Structure 1
Amino acid sequence: MYNNILVPVLFDNDHDKSAPVKLAGLLASPGSKITFLHVIERLPGYAKSFVTENLQKELRVTLHQEMDRLAQHLPGAEGVILEGHSGRTILDYAGQYGNDLIIIASHRPGVKDYFLGSTASHVVRHAACAVHVVR
């Protein structure tokens, strides 16, 4: 059982968000802390002019609502949204807040993942705590 669980969340159609939530509930000790973390990748300079400030604000509001919805499924859970490189930000957060488990969803790897590396594989290779990958 774990006391401080980090569950990175990606809002797309390829990742099942229910499986990591259920697993966090099963692996959590009574009274444990569970953090759902979504990382917003920084926009490249050339794309910033196409994304208005209002659109960015609306996106953040929607993301906060989705994170709150996830967190309400488990006692002691909260949602956090950060900006940065997904793999590094997940690892930095886990190190800073002393997470003892990261539960991360992953898709089936393709050829591009073997050369570029996915977020899940980056987290698995570099995490200082236990990592559980859900497919």
Structure 2
Amino acid sequence: MFKKIMVPVDLAHKEDLGKALNCARDLARHYGAEIVYVGVTTTTPSQTAHNPKEYQSKLDAFAQEQARDGDITASAKMLLSHDPRSDVDDVLLKAVGDTGADLVVMASHMPNILDYVWPSNGGKIAEHAKCSVMVVRGQV
């Protein structure tokens, strides 16, 4: 049913992604699908990496770890953004097409009052992606 699963990851908050990561690995094993872990960074230093090359290296290591621990096929794709906080949704939507994903599995927070004013990342991706989107709430 699914051949390529895109999983957006924020390496600065890996500990909050457990439930979504487990879900994606289970789906990948069930369908024999590949997972592509997508991370968005900037060219300026951040708390995660000093530069895009270092970020790509950390994202590759993350994907290899997930593949090994989950007995799946996985890869990593780094995307650059001038301002990830403001345009992460648009960058991720473009990545859906670029990666050929037929499913996006992403973590999301529990809805709150601000979601009525500013939609969540998961909500925008689910609304606009041209593939199936599974928004996974909560942590493991």
Bucket of the pairwise TM-score, normalised by the shorter protein? 0.7 to 0.9
Q: TM-score, normalised by structure 1?
A: 0.75
| Conservation of the 8 A alpha-carbon contact between 2:63 and 2:74 | no
Q: Does 1:69 align with 2:70?
A: no
Q: What CA distance in whole angstroms lies between the structure 2 residues aligned with 1:22 and 1:10?
A: 15
2:16 match: 16
Q: What CA distance in whole angstroms lies between the structure 2 residues aligned with 1:38 and 1:11?
A: 7
Compare the two structures and name the one with the higher helix fraction.
2
SS of the equivalent of 2:110 reads: coil
| Conservation of the 8 A alpha-carbon contact between 1:104 and 1:134 | yes
Q: What CA distance in whole angstroms lies between the structure 1 residues aligned with 2:18 and 2:65?
A: 12
1:95 match: 97
Give unmatched runs, 5+ long, in structure 2: 82-86
1:55 match: 50
Across the aligned residues of Structure 1 and Structure 2, the Cα RMSD in angstroms comes to 2.7
2:84 match: none
Q: How many residues align?
A: 126
SS of the equivalent of 1:116 reads: coil
1:2 match: 2
2:110 match: 108
Q: TM-score, normalised by structure 2?
A: 0.73
Could you say which structure has the larger radius of gyration?
1
% identical equivalent positions = 27
Report matched runs for 1:37-56 at 5 Å: 37-40=38-41, 42=42, 51=45, 55-56=50-51
